[in-house]
Amino acid sequence: MKGPASAGLIFGSFLVAFLFEVLPWSGTWLLARPDLVLLLLVFWTLREPRAVGQGAAFAIGLLMDVSDSVLLGEHAFAYVVAVYGAQVLRVRILSFHLPEQSLHVLGLTMVASCVMLLLNLLLGADFPGFAYFASPVLTALLWAPAAWILDSAALRRRREAPP
Amino acid sequence: MIADHRFHALATLRLSLNVLAQPLQQVAEMPSQALARAADFFTTQGELLRENRDLRAELLEQSAAAQEATMLRAEEEHLLAMAPGHGRYADHGVVAEVLYTARNPFTRKIVVDKGLTQGIKAGMPVIDGTGVVGQVTSVGTFTSEVTLVTEKGQSVPVMLVRNGLRAIAVGSGKDGSIDIPFMPVSADVRQGDVFVTSGIDGTYPPGLMVAKVSSVEKNSAYAFARIVAHPLAAVDNYRFVLLLPLAPPPPRPETLEEEVRKPVKERPAHAPRRQGGGAAPR
């Protein structure tokens, strides 16, 4: 049994993901940008449901909205929906192996992307092309490596129980 | 979301959250900026000498034009003192460096490195060496967002250089083009025509190049011609832009009744000099 994740690990992983997302992506690269922040939100919701939940998803989503200069609340809404899905399906997802878990995560990231796309279309933006759906697919593909790294024994050392 | 989109009510929240996100943004930009500076460092001496020579020649050509412009402006101010109305020109602007393109696949915006601390206000027009780039839409503490002219719904009042035809150029939001909507099929617009700002709205100074017409479709089945133009400014690849100051608002009248009772000629000018067309007040 691995120990619970420390707060430092959770915060550090979100920091790295955020730094990855604020790199100067543009054009087609931007459409294909994997949403590591969403990936980590889903991961920590499954692993540490009491530490990360919909409140964290909303707050982090707002931060993403501001840094990406999109409509305020777009990422927040999408992340809350995805995290709700993760919470509801938590026991089911954890009963599968990593590849099947990736499929579930693909569903969650697709839902989040479609929510954001729908919001923007309703407010008058043009459809950015099907390359837009490269992002959720890539995010789901990164599930297995991310889960493997964050679950590795080095990061989740079981601390000695006090006598 | 509705508050942000319809009422633009969340600007303060956005500004404060931006301050939080700003240091991380700067850290993330560092690698790409370091790469760009390193690339600059390795230019050959030959290239630098050639660029230097070309820039000096351009400066020489432009200084002659600048001297002529100063003389013309003085002459025009003198003439305008005799008649109501005032023109506006690109006097002095703030040079800003483009940091990155905004990471929003649904809009066309760029982020420049001047913000509230340098006195930037929302609505300031932004130009580069060849023409109009866009307008400042959102101001942060150290950076600002500029919406490009190619963004859907971003409009610039323009005028055809060749025959003075006035229109409004509206960004199309897709593939970097600009539409000129609502032009009748009989309008005298040809492929290759250049549109410049007409200065009518008081935001953009007159005479700045905006777009060049790339295709004109005149089908008498439709009420309007379909004119597609492409922006002349290097809207998609640039590093430095100029942010122009906003025109000061016209002076407030003492009381509204006084203002209404004055004959039209004596009212203070509310619009730049070039009125033209049929709607000019005496």
State pLDDT tens for residues A6-60: 888 899 999 999 999 988 887 788 888 999 999 999 999 999 999 998 999 999 9
**Within an 8 Å CB–CB cutoff, is residue B8 touching chain A?**
no
| Chain A residues with a Cβ under 8 Å from any Cβ in chain B | 15, 18-27, 30-31, 33, 62-63, 65-74, 77, 119-120, 123-126, 128, 132
pLDDT at residue B86 in the model: 47
- Shortest distance between the Cα of A125 and any Cα of chain B, in A, equals 6
What residues of chain A lie within 8 A of the CB of B18, using their CB? 66-67
Does B217 score more than 80 pLDDT? yes
What is the count of residue pairs from A and B with beta carbons less than 8 Å apart?
A: 91
- Residue B77 forms part of a structural domain: no
Quick check: B159 pLDDT over 70?
Answer: yes
The distance from CA B169 to its chain's CA centroid, rounded to whole angstroms, is 12
CB-nearest partner of A69 from B29, B31, B145:
B145
Question: Above 50 in pLDDT, residue B271?
Answer: no
For residue A92, what pLDDT is reported?
Answer: 96
B153 or B92, greater pLDDT: B153
Banded pLDDT at B124 (limits 50, 70, 90): very high
**What is d(CA B86, CA B81) in angstroms, rounded to the nearest whole number?**
9
User: Residue B202 falls within a domain, yes or no?
Assistant: yes
Give the residue carrying structure tokens 């508050």. Answer: B3
Q: Does B1 touch chain A (CB under 8 A)?
A: yes
Q: Residue A108: how many CA atoms within 13 Å on its side-chain side? A: 32
pLDDT at B282 over 60: no
Q: Which pLDDT score is estimated for B91?
A: 60
Closest alpha carbon to B175 in B131, B215, B122: B215
Q: What would you report as the CA-atom Rg of chain A, rounded to the nearest whole angstrom?
A: 16
Instruction: List the single residue in A20, A72, A128 with the smallest CB-CB distance to B14.
Output: A72
For residue A161, is pLDDT > 80? Answer: no
- On average, the pLDDT of chain B sits at 83
Q: How far is B68 from chain A (nearest CA, A)?
A: 42
The residues, any chain, with a CB within 8 Å of residue B28's CB and separated by 6 or more, are: A19, A20, A22, A23, A24
B191: pLDDT confidence band, cut at 50, 70 and 90?
very high
The answer, yes or no, to whether residue A154 has pLDDT greater than 80, is no
Higher-confidence residue of B42 and A80: namely A80
Task: Kindly identify which residue of chain B lies nearest to residue A27, measuring between CA atoms.
Answer: B105
pLDDT at A84 over 90: yes
Distances (CA, A) of B170 to A115, B200, B232: 28, 15, 14
Q: Indicate yes or no: pTM above 0.80.
A: no
Q: How many CB atoms lie within 10 A of CB B174?
A: 13
- With a CB cutoff of 8 Å and minimum separation 6, the contacts of B82 are none
Chain A closest-CA separation from residue B222 CA (Å): 23
pLDDT tens sequence across A90-137: 999 999 999 999 999 999 999 999 999 999 999 888 888 888 999 999
Q: DSSP 3-state assignment of A141?
A: helix
Min distance B5 CA to chain A CA atoms (Å): 7
Burial category of B82 from C-beta neighbours within 10 Å (exposed 0-12, middle 13-18, buried 19 and up): exposed
ipTM of predicted assembly, 2 dp: 0.78
Number of domains within chain B: 1
Q: Would you state the pLDDT for residue B32?
A: 84
Give how far A158 is from chain B: nearest CA, Å: 31
The four Cα atoms B22, B25, B27, B32 give a dihedral, to 10 degrees, of -140
pLDDT given at position A13: 93
Q: Is residue B70 part of a domain?
A: no
Q: How far, rounded to the nearest angstrom, does the alpha carbon of residue B144 sit from its chain's CA centroid?
A: 15
Higher pLDDT, A79 or A7: A79
Nearest one of A39, A89, A101, A37 to A65, comparing CA atoms: A37
Interface check for B98 against chain A (CB to CB < 8 A): the answer is no
Question: Which long-range contacts (C-beta less than 8 Å, at least 24 apart) are formed by B83-87?
Answer: B84/B265, B84/B267, B84/B268, B84/B269, B85/B269, B85/B271, B85/B272, B85/B273, B85/B275, B86/B269, B86/B272, B86/B273, B87/B199, B87/B206, B87/B272, B87/B273, B87/B274
Amino acid at B84: P
Question: From CA A163, how far away is CA B117, in angstroms rounded?
Answer: 57
Percentage of the residues of chain B whose pLDDT score is greater than 70 = 85
- Which CATH number is B183's domain given? 2.40.10.350
B79 belongs to a structural domain: no
Q: Which two tokens stand for residue B202?
A: 């008081």
Partners of residue B3 in chain A, C-beta under 8 Å: 72
Domain residue limits at B161:
93-246
Identify which of A22, A33, A123 has the shortest CB distance to residue B28. Answer: A22
Q: For residue B121, which amino acid is it?
A: K
pLDDT over 80 (residue B84): no
Could you report the per-residue pLDDT of B218-265, keeping only the tens digit for each? 988 888 999 999 998 877 767 889 999 887 777 777 777 766 776 666
Q: B20 contacts in A (CB within 8 Å)? A: 63, 66
